[in-house]
Structure 1
Amino acid sequence: MKVDAELMFECLIYINAYYYPVFATCDTIMALAKYQSTQRDTPNIGKDALVCFTRLFAEILKLVVFYKYKDERKKLVTAFGVAMTLVTIGTIYYTLLIQDPALKLEKVLSALTIMLTACEVAFGTLFLMPCYKKVEYY
């Protein structure tokens, strides 16, 4: 069975473009709520917010670069997208395993994001490999 890795990667980026506003809004609101909270102690709120906004910046940069330059330089844009996705995976690692306290909604959104980003890395890497080169007949 042949896999069209380029098509799968583009579909995942397309899904990510619709998923991004959801987690961007939720992450921003949760960071602000933690900052304003008097009931829960968040000693590393500055680092947590930096990681949160690094994730948001990496994802929006990936989407903008992909949609703007995907027709001219497919391989380069895909490599950039995979690199930005790895940054996102690193920030999710921080949120799930290091951040204290992590809200339940943060864990749920991070779990959804990790599934999406893992598939993006897998298909993006397959697209970059020469053995998965798509045969074009036109």
Structure 2
Amino acid sequence: MKVDPELMFECLIYINAHYYPVFAVCEIAMLVAKYLSDKKDTPNLDQDAAVCLTRHVAELMKLVGFQVFKYRSRKLVTLAVIVLSLVNVCTVYYNMFLQHPILRLEIVLSCLTSLLLATELLFGFWYLMPCYKKIEYF
């Protein structure tokens, strides 16, 4: 069975474009809830907000940049998406392991995001491999 990593990568970006708004709204709502909460002590809320903003800006740059430049230079835009995905992996790592306190919904959303980012990185690296050759079906 032949696998087309370029097509899989584009499909994952498309799925991410529909997943991202849900994730962004939930992440911002949880950040506001932590800010307004009297029960939870969040000593590093400003650092958590900076990491959240970094993730959302990087994700928007990745999604918009891919849609705008995918027909001009496919390999270069894929490399840029991989770099921005690595930034997002770092922010998810912070969110899951370094942030305190962490809500259960944040853990669930971070796990889903990490799965999506891992598959994006896998197919992105696969597409950039020098041994990859596009299979023409027609």
* Aligned equivalent of 2:20: 20
Pairwise CA RMSD? 1.1
* Distance in 1 (alpha carbons) for counterparts of 2:17 and 2:137: 30
Q: Secondary structure at the match of 1:130?
A: coil
Please tell me whether residue 93 in structure 1 is matched to residue 87 in structure 2: no
Instruction: Give distance in 1, aligned partners of 2:35 and 2:87.
Output: 24
Structure 2, unmatched stretches of 5+, are: none
Question: Is the 2:27–2:52 Cα contact (8 Å) retained in structure 1?
Answer: yes
Aligned equivalent of 2:80: 80
In 2, Cα distance between equivalents of 1:62 and 1:54: 12
Q: What residue in structure 1 maps to residue 42 of structure 2?
A: 42
TM-score of the two chains, using structure 1 as the length reference: 0.96
Equivalent residue, structure 2, for 1:54:
54
Q: What do the CA deviations read for 1:56-83 (whole angstroms, capped 9, x no partner)?
A: 1110100000000101110000000011
Gaps of 5+ in 1: none
CA offsets 1:79-132 (integer angstroms, 9 cap, x no match): 000111111111000011110001000000000000000000000000001111
Q: After superposition, where does 1:99-138 map in structure 2 within 5 Å?
A: 99-136=99-136
Write out the 4+ residue segments of structure 1 that deviate beyond 3 Å after TM superposition: 135-138
Report the TM-score, using the length of structure 2 for normalisation: 0.96
Total equivalences in the alignment: 138
Offset at residue 32 of structure 1 (A): 1.0
1:29, distance to aligned residue in structure 2 (A): 0.7
1-side partners of 2:132 and 2:35: how far apart? Answer: 47
Between 15-24 and 124-133, the greater mean CA deviation after superposition: 124-133
Give the secondary structure class of the aligned counterpart of 2:131: helix
